[in-house]
Amino acid sequence: MAGRSRLAGGAARLGAAPRLFLTQPAVSQQIKALETRLGYRLFERLPRGVAPTPAAHELARLIAPHLDALEATMEGARQGPGRLGGRVRLGGPAEFLAERVVPALGGLPEKRVRLEVRFGLADELLDALAGGELDLVVSTRPVRRTGLESEPLFTERFVLVAGPAWAARLSQEAIEANGASALEGVPLVSYGLELPILRRYWRVVFGERLERRAAVVAPDLRAVREAVATGAGISVLPQYLCDDAVARGRLVVLHRPASPPENTLHLAWRSGTGREPRLGYVRGLLRRAVSGTAAPENVRDSGAAD
């Protein structure tokens, strides 16, 4: 985290004073004044230099988001109104980012914005966001962390699908009438060994606990989709991953319950950074991408935030 490193690391080294355009006595005086105001020590004086105390690290953790937000604001002011530029570090689930998000951000180089994408699970990505390693995160679960803000981005609905070969052997009417028993003996293709998405579908739609092993396990929903399309078995997938394959006849939706399982994806950012110009612009692009609307050609860079 940039703010944290500046407070707990940069000021602890003798080389910090020149970088701050201050003399070493002036830095020492400001640190002493801050310690007096806080009522506890921030640095331990060593034979050569100083080292931050645990209290300094905790203070840095608390104020770092505000320092980072101030730095982002100053960078935007230096660039001038209506201009972007810089870097956006985006994290999220690989499948959603690859299928829905990254294609919508292809125009960022024209705005002089560099995009860096990281795939991963929600908890590790939110840790990276809180630590200043990422700027925006698409989370598969609600975000309830101090120092982070979020908004609902997209609701994914899950569908039970098969390839044409298996679909020809299964009766949609039988599934409607008999539920999960109509699928006994059909191979399952799963995202994980514990069959997380399949188990939820069985519980919510069929009212049963799924007690089977998967024939194929692949930790990428796009791989699950391809395995199902080529006849490996059946699976439950987000509808957005299946729409094109269904339209082309590569997948068949086996069941259309009145209330399919759903999950809301959330877009998260560090508190105080949401209106930074380039992050606001990317947030606007993401909202339009998942809603299916195109970005206006004449949108102002600085006006797309909210």
Helices (H), the chain: 2-8, 16-19, 24-38, 54-79, 94-96, 122-130, 164-169, 172-178, 196-201, 221-229, 239-247, 277-291
DSSP per residue over 200-223, as a string?
A: HHIIIII-S------SEE-SSHHH
What pLDDT does 15 receive? 55
CB-CB neighbours of 13 under 10 Å: 12
Instruction: Give CA torsion, residues 5, 8, 13, 18, to 10 deg.
Output: 60
Residue 111 identity (one-letter amino acid):
K
* Residue owning tokens 């795939």: 119
Q: Which domains does the chain have, with CATH numbers?
A: 2-79 (1.10.10.10), 86-147+271-303 (3.40.190.10), 157-262 (3.40.190.10)
pLDDT (tens, 9 = 90+) of the chain, 306 residues, equals: 444 444 444 444 445 666 555 677 777 788 888 888 888 888 887 877 778 888 887 777 667 655 555 555 555 555 544 556 789 999 999 999 999 999 989 888 888 889 999 999 999 999 999 999 999 999 999 999 999 999 999 999 999 999 999 999 999 999 999 999 999 999 999 999 999 999 999 999 999 999 999 999 999 999 999 999 999 999 999 999 999 999 999 999 999 998 999 999 999 999 988 778 888 889 988 988 887 654 444 333 333 333
Model's pTM, two decimal places?
Answer: 0.68
- Provide the pairing of β-strand 234-238 with 148-162: antiparallel
Q: Which two tokens stand for residue 136?
A: 């925006």
Which residues are paired to 262 by β-bridges?
157
